[in-house]
Amino acid sequence: MKPRRGHSNEIRMRQRIAIEAARIMCEEHLADFYKAKHKAAARLGAADTRNLPRNDEIERALAEYQRLFRGDSQPARLKQLRETALHAMEFLHAFKPRLVGPVLRGTADEHTEITLHVFADTPEEPGLFLMEHDIPHQLCERRLSLSSGETLSYPAYRFLVDEVPLLLVVLPPVAARQAFKSEVDGRPMERASAADVRVLIETT
């Protein structure tokens, strides 16, 4: 049974939107999947479509775009970001840091911010630690979704490590056993320890 012509057109448009969203994220340095896919749909004249690609489809398209158009630079930059993340994790070892996001998943580039989850009894502890080491930083917040569907806001600190932006999301110790949802595929978020990151660097 052949697929309906309209259905085939929807599939092709969905694929085109995923590819254009990936190009936007790479070329225009947009990290937000939601904004990228809607921007792509508008550019392709499909702003009203309800058949938008999932975030994981866009991430696959992004990885392919990087392979085709950034193959000479992106892998080296990714390794550099992971090495910087490891350096920061060793410095912050008292807070049991975990690497998350594009630097872990492999789609980071020269404009990607390193994100670490750290664990402390009070939100102020990591900030005081940074102050004690004379590290300029900004206080902000990051929203994370639990597997239950609940979304919570957590304090975060943004600062530079070797000229690379780094975001520390401060979580209570109990959160080490909680599953946060990945914004990419809705599955439990991948989190890597310093030992995991070291292996990743050595094997890729």
Burial 24-62 (b: 16+ CB within 10 A, else e): bbbeeeeeebeebbbbbbeeeebeeeeebbebbbbbbbb
User: How far is 135 from 131, CA to CA, in rounded Å?
Assistant: 6
Based on the domain organization, do 34 and 101 belong to the same domain? no
Please provide the average confidence, as pLDDT, over all residues in the chain: 94
* 54 and 17 Cβ atoms separated by less than 8 Å: no
The CATH number of whichever domain residue 139 belongs to comes to: 3.30.460
Residue 10 — pLDDT band, cuts 50, 70, 90? confident
Encode pLDDT of 86-141 as tens digits. 999 999 999 999 999 999 999 999 999 999 999 999 999 999 999 999 999 999 99
pTM: 0.92
For the chain, what is the domain count? 2
Based on the domain organization, do 55 and 115 belong to the same domain? no
* 49 and 13 Cβ atoms separated by less than 8 Å: yes
What per-residue confidence (pLDDT) applies to 194?
Answer: 98
Mean pLDDT over 73-78 rounds to 96
Based on the domain organization, do 179 and 120 belong to the same domain? yes
Identify the domain boundary among 41, 69, 97. 69
Based on the domain organization, do 102 and 29 belong to the same domain? no
Encode pLDDT of 144-177 as tens digits. 999 888 999 999 999 999 899 999 999 999 999 8
Residue 6 — pLDDT band, cuts 50, 70, 90? low
Residue 192: which domain range?
Answer: 74-203
3-class DSSP assignment, residue 150: coil
